[in-house]
Structure 1
């Protein structure tokens, strides 16, 4: 067993391959956090808690002024009974008070990992892959039962946490805060890494020293958002890609979240993460339950690169699901930047003809095929074919594409409704809104109220009807605005602040139903690009459009930052035209190709307008990606040079058996008097001899990693270099 329990001391030791996580029940049933870090064989309490009297830290026991919840390192702290730090949960009673007092009741331990009702989560395929500990806490006065669930993946050094509330009392309880995890560290010698951004500028890495007070990232937009990701990590000073301690937290949820670090006056650090309590409450009537989303927690002493590979392994194998989880993903052409809304069946078929010549495998018809959709002002919710553009219907076009030898994909935005739509005219109350308040528009559209069962069923059936009507093998599921006017016509006043979370539960139900009905369709989530790139989405759709920004130089940072948590196989990455539509930059087609090949490869341009030379280069890119695709999508990813730290970026991929290597180097701007660069690869087998596929040169794996390759001096902006190595057999 990987979970060890000392029943006499009520000490719980979760022991992974390289990590230990230790808790203990202390003083009258309080649950204390003792240790998380490098694996210890047997925990005997060498780092015992020192109790002492601290001014203004009150005491639950008047006879002992040294014991205070304000200074105790805890696992799931409450509000109002002595701890002035940020609580993990807060509940309002009928009398208006918000004081609760959870004490330890019992534990359960078992092999495997439970599913979370109505929520996405990581999973196991064999019960021996994980072990689970449930610590059951109780407030006897209220009849409140709170179950803290810890699941350990021992081989990955991953612990997942979630919390289940049950009202076994006789009065209504109103939950005001219900975070998924809280953990207290006994020092503050950390730096904080988060991912921030905006539309077209997602997943920027921010690293800063933590200081006394609260450092917080969150979203109250109704989505995980491009502005801040539901992720944070604490790292020791000097930690880099290859060495140093990392404590990482990622919330498996696609809605409002908070992730925060609080340093108290005594230099203790509290990390807490979960659903955002802002504008949230949940009425828990007698007999009812509430489940929080899951948090994935990873520890490593081997730097950020190792942290990323832990997440990549877990997410690609035990978060993503379905037919395509372990399948090679197709190379696609999307017509969006080629035509926008201005297309017809003949134009799409012309693009498909050129795509087939290039070896592309899938054509995706983007926005504009339905209703009367000539711009973004109308028709969302009316999932019927626009016969002005497709006079013979969707089936005819899809069959023509398939007859060319390509697969056919389609764009939807199922969560939205246009005011100029038949659906809105029939059901104006189906959008999120507050009675007598004017609508706030975003991109000229409103958000459907997925907290309502009838709305969810409409989305399920209307999308399913289209998917069943033609040979569709790919869906791009978009979401292009955040929530405003958050209210539901179907909820009573006391439940209005449940709307945003009920929306997410509805969305997950919709996605579960549709993806289950159509297991042979590859679903890619999107939110104006990477606005909802989170683990919750990946549970239903195994890849995400990384950003609407397709400029290769911008994508260096976007894809590099995204890779901190998410594997390359989950990242949609396309080559687009120049000047780039987002930033106007002109970059070489070779560079655009090399950047996009670091993810799920495709194109977003009009192939019919390219020169013969460009078409030939694209044909060669497609052929190359087909050869390296297994390594990119299923190999191990190593970051070498960070575009956030200079003028260059580099990374390499290594196959699981270390027999094949793909590496890329990029330089943004050419510099005068530039130094010569030696690029050192990572993750190779030091005992293998590797052959350069292009030149035939032979080098040892140890040489490529330690001595490196000297890069030629090339005077060119937006430069890329690319290598393939294979194991040499004598």
Structure 2
């Protein structure tokens, strides 16, 4: 709900549990007055105090009033070069060479429904589900207008926002920074939580207290990256899963980003989030506009758990465009770890036959099916079937797979090219390369210049021939290196700062074409696993390969961190063989299945090498996943313990919306000779319900399970696991 006080120029955005407020003051500065637990009917600008501060300049309009300075005011969108020395949200380079932006309130409008952004991903809604507030700011001297967009998803405590900058003058200007989100707080006693690490260990939670100066995470790799995720949290120092106020901020963007927090000299803090200013400079000719990527904020007064569940619901219902919405996704098997590049049609058919007998429904053919691809160093860009490996082409193979009762999926890496390829030999200038420099390679490949429409068109024409020749249900879109040598032959020198962003827009363009032309195909995003796991990609690829690390114990940490923002249904998670390829660890097959079930479930192994006992276990896992699918993918998710803290187990829980069903998963750590007894307190149940445990004669009340707990069984061996199914009695 959006409440307007036009007389006092106060704008209040209410969600179910929170309030966000801003006010245009006497000098037309748009102040940020409050964001937190819901408060009705107040002008919260009274919280802002004024005083004469040394070395804090005063704007011209303030005259001799030294008590007013932009350097200490909480602003809705921070300025640059006019007296606020903290983190700027915008930086302009004007025709006269100055780098100044002074945006003042000009007006507003209220709209039904959610704003739209051409060429960029964003949350969506029906007209009656959201309201949008648009506030116009203006820099009169620079002749630049800015529109701040806010859409309110009341039921989810979600506020989305973006920024549109318009050059209203007659001369060219350059946009050197344009953040999507600015949040000012009249406090610094908060923690900053980020999700970091590296390839094979993505999105590990990192929490630390705010300190003086600037703390930041970001990426200049051309992708959102394995190293840092474009989702951050600010929270009370004592906030935990169930208590304390926390602020989540997600950027729906798949390229270079920055999330920075500055604690100022007077115990105020500011979060600025958006496209990373590194090598970003966007030219705006007269009349042209630039739109920043969308940011999505959720404030939870009741800890991390509530924030996560609100993000999960909002993403599932208003961001994903999933062809399987309302129905179960198939369980898949991928041949990569079973065969790598060394396969034939008969070998693939054998894997599919074994999988079909175990209840698996989708066979995915991974890398190595095209060109002369027998290793990493050739054929990327040549998307034609290798008839030596697949006699009769895809038609013959897919016919065999379909006759087994299975669907068919395929792997492609559209953004990449090998120098040993027909495409590169014909068009070497289509790769990102700096003139006069030898290019750097990653995984033996170069990056195609997807900022160019002709390059995208050529790749898409090849993809269409593949995707249209047979019935394909699933596409794994991979991307296996970061961007280097970022320079485009199609742009003049002064516009090379646009290439990184134009590249991302090009990816979105091609994915949108796929969504339009093949709405029935489920696209799974992949970037060396989780290197591009962000809200922007989820708009186009409703699930993403969570990590190339498939070890069940490592995945506990990866999936735990990912869950703070992103729902289970978006996490590609597979059971793989042991010893694990990445770390050599041996974990029980049951444990690998339980861990992978908290994701988009499948297998990444040679099923023909499984014993009869292992095949029985796989069949049980597949059947269980199908039974619990709705609970796993649509239920409320509760983190019951952290895999980053020393403990005898890691536990999590899925609870149905009506609280009548729950599935608890527990993975134990290394076992000892005298293992500790564990009692697990559950969450999200109805205290008045009696819950049957694992369809036995054992019953516990919801009150007991949540307040006193459930006694966990003693387990033998390292890394054992158990699932506990609860159903309320009638």
| Structure 1 length-normalised TM | 0.98
After TM superposition, list the pairs within 5 Å mapping 1:554-593 onto structure 2. 554-593=554-593
Match of 2:640, SS? Answer: strand
1:511 and 1:228 map into 2 onto residues whose CA distance is 23
Within 1, Cα distance between the matches of 2:674 and 2:207? Answer: 30
1:324 positional shift:
2.2
Q: Output aligned runs, 1:691-706, within 5 Å.
A: 691-706=692-707
Partner residue in 2 for 1:337:
337
Aligned with 1:575: secondary structure? strand
Contact 1:30 1:103 in 2 (8 A): yes
3-state SS of paired residue (2:50):
coil
> 2: CA distance between counterparts of 1:599 and 1:696?
30
How far residue 322 of structure 1 moved from its aligned partner, in angstroms, is 4.1
Aligned to 1:90: 91
* Residues 121 and 536 in structure 2, CA contact (< 8 A), matched pair in contact too: yes
* Residue in 2 that maps onto 1:286: 286
SS in 1 for 2:624: helix
Query: Which residue of the partner structure matches residue 368 of structure 1?
Result: 368
CA distance in 2, matches of 1:245, 1:325: 32
Partners of 1:205 and 1:154 in 2: how far apart? 28
Cα distance between partner residues in 1 of 2:458 and 2:669: 48
Distance in 2 separating the partners of 1:70 and 1:625: 55
Give the CA deviation at 1:325. Answer: 3.2
**Which moved further from structure 2: 698-707 or 634-643?**
698-707
Alignment of 1:448-467 (within 5 A): 448-467=448-467
RMSD of equivalent CA atoms: 1.1
Aligned to 1:23: 22
For the 8 Å contact 2:34–2:44, the answer to whether it is kept is: no
How far the C-alpha of 1:634 sits from its partner, in A, is: 1.3
Question: Which deviates more from structure 2 when the two are superposed, residues 207-216 or residues 655-664?
Answer: 655-664
* Map 1:50-199 → 2, pairs under 5 A: 50-60=49-59, 61-124=62-125, 126-199=126-199
Q: What SS is found at the alignment partner of 2:215? A: strand
Q: How many angstroms does 1:354 deviate by?
A: 0.6
**Residue number in structure 2 paired with 1:10:** 9
Segments of 5+ residues of structure 1 without an aligned counterpart are none
1:139 deviates by 1.1
The residue that corresponds to 2:415 in the other structure is 415
Instruction: Please say which of residues 689-698 and 36-45 is displaced more in the overlay.
Output: 689-698
Alignment of 1:574-653 (within 5 A): 574-647=574-647, 648-653=649-654
Deviations along 1:83-120, whole A, 9 cap, x unmatched?
00010000001121112221111101112111111100
Query: How far has the Cα of 1:394 moved from its partner?
Result: 0.9
Instruction: Tell me which residue corresponds to 1:324.
Output: 324
Hey, what's the Cα distance between the residues in 2 that align with 1:516 and 1:283? 30
What's the CA shift string for 1:447-501, capped at 9, x where partnerless?
A: 1101101011112211111000111100110000010000001111111110010
Cα separation, 2, equivalents of 1:447 and 1:541? 20
Distance 2:257 2:551 in 1: 29
- 1:541 lines up with 2:545 in the alignment: no
Counterpart in the other structure of 2:394: 394
Residues 324 and 542 in structure 1, CA contact (< 8 A), matched pair in contact too: no
The DSSP-based 3-state class of the residue aligned with 1:395 is helix
Higher alpha-carbon deviation: 676-685 or 293-302 = 676-685
Deviation readout 1:491-544 (Å, 9 max, x if unpaired): 111111100100111110100001210111111000111110100011011100
Which residue pairs with 1:442 in the alignment?
A: 442
Residues 1:662 and 2:682 are matched in the alignment: no
Q: For the residues of structure 2 that align with 1:515 and 1:6, how far apart are their CA atoms?
A: 42
Separation of aligned partners in 2, 1:723 and 1:114? 43
1:348 matched residue in structure 2 = 348
Deviation string 1:591-640 (CA, Å, 9 cap, x unpaired) is 11110111111100001111111111111111111111111111111110
In 2: Cα distance, 1:32 partner to 1:264 partner: 17
Tell me the equivalent position of 1:682: 683
Distance (Å, rounded) in 2 between the aligned partners of 1:720 and 1:695: 19
For 1:33 and 1:226, locate their aligned partners in 2 and report how far apart those are by CA, in whole Å: 33
Matches within 5 A, 1:484-495: 484-495=484-495
1:262-281 matches, cutoff 5 A? 262-281=262-281
**Equivalents in 2 of 1:44, 1:103: separation in Å?**
20
Distance 1:473 1:98 in 2: 51
Instruction: Name the counterpart of 1:33.
Output: 32
* 2:502 counterpart of 1:515: no
Q: Measure the CA separation in 2 of the matches of 1:239 and 1:50.
A: 27
Q: Secondary structure at the match of 1:642?
A: coil
Change (3 A) 1:346 1:127: same
SS in 1 for 2:623: helix
- 8 A Cα contact 1:325 1:542, kept in partner: no
Distance in 1 (CA, whole Å) between partners of 2:44 and 2:77 is 21
- d(CA) in 1 for partners of 2:590 and 2:671? 17
Which secondary structure state, in structure 2, belongs to the residue aligned with residue 127 of structure 1?
coil
- Paired with 1:645 and 1:369, the residues of 2 have a C-alpha distance of 43
Distance 1:297 1:514 in 2: 29
Change (3 A) 1:546 1:45: closer
Point out the more displaced range, 662-671 or 15-24: 662-671
Q: Is the partner of 1:128 in helix, strand or coil?
A: coil
SS of equivalent to 1:641 = coil
- CA deviation after TM superposition for structure 1 residue 158, in Å: 1.0
Partner SS, residue 483 of structure 2: coil
Residue 715 of structure 1 and its aligned partner are, at CA, apart by 4.1
Q: Which residue of 1 is the match for residue 42 of structure 2?
A: 43
CA contact 2:221–2:483 (8 Å) conserved in 1:
yes
> Could you tell me how far 1:711 is from its partner in structure 2?
1.4
What per-residue deviation string (whole Å, max 9, x for no partner) do you get for residues 676-725 of structure 1?
21011111122221112343311112221112111133342112111111
Equivalent in the alignment of 2:238: 238
Whole-Å Cα distance in 2 between the matches of residues 661 and 15 of structure 1?
32
Report whether the alignment pairs 1:217 with 2:217.
yes
Q: CA deviation at 1:145?
A: 0.6
Shift of 1:429: 0.5
Residue 438 of structure 1 and its aligned partner are, at CA, apart by: 0.7
Q: CA deviation at 1:62?
A: 3.8
Task: Give the match for residue 300 of structure 1.
Answer: 300
Residues 459, 510 of structure 1: 8 Å contact kept: no
Cα distance in 1 for partners of 2:141, 2:313 equals: 44
Measure, in 1, the Cα distance between the counterparts of 2:673 and 2:302.
36
Asked if the contact 1:363–1:407 (Cα under 8 Å) also holds between the matched residues in 2, the reply is yes
Q: Name the counterpart of 1:716.
A: 717
Contact persistence 2:21–2:44 (CA under 8 A): no
In 2, distance between residues paired with 1:156 and 1:84? 35
CA distance in 1, matches of 2:81, 2:447: 38
Q: Residues of 2 paired with 1:36 and 1:202: CA distance?
A: 30
CA distance in 1, matches of 2:225, 2:555: 18
Structure-2 separation of matches of 1:532 and 1:302: 29
- Structure 2 Cα separation of the partners of residues 8 and 457 of structure 1: 53
Does the 8 Å contact 2:191/2:207 carry over to 1?
A: yes
SS at 2:155 equivalent: coil
Structure 1, 713-722 or 185-194: larger mean CA deviation = 713-722
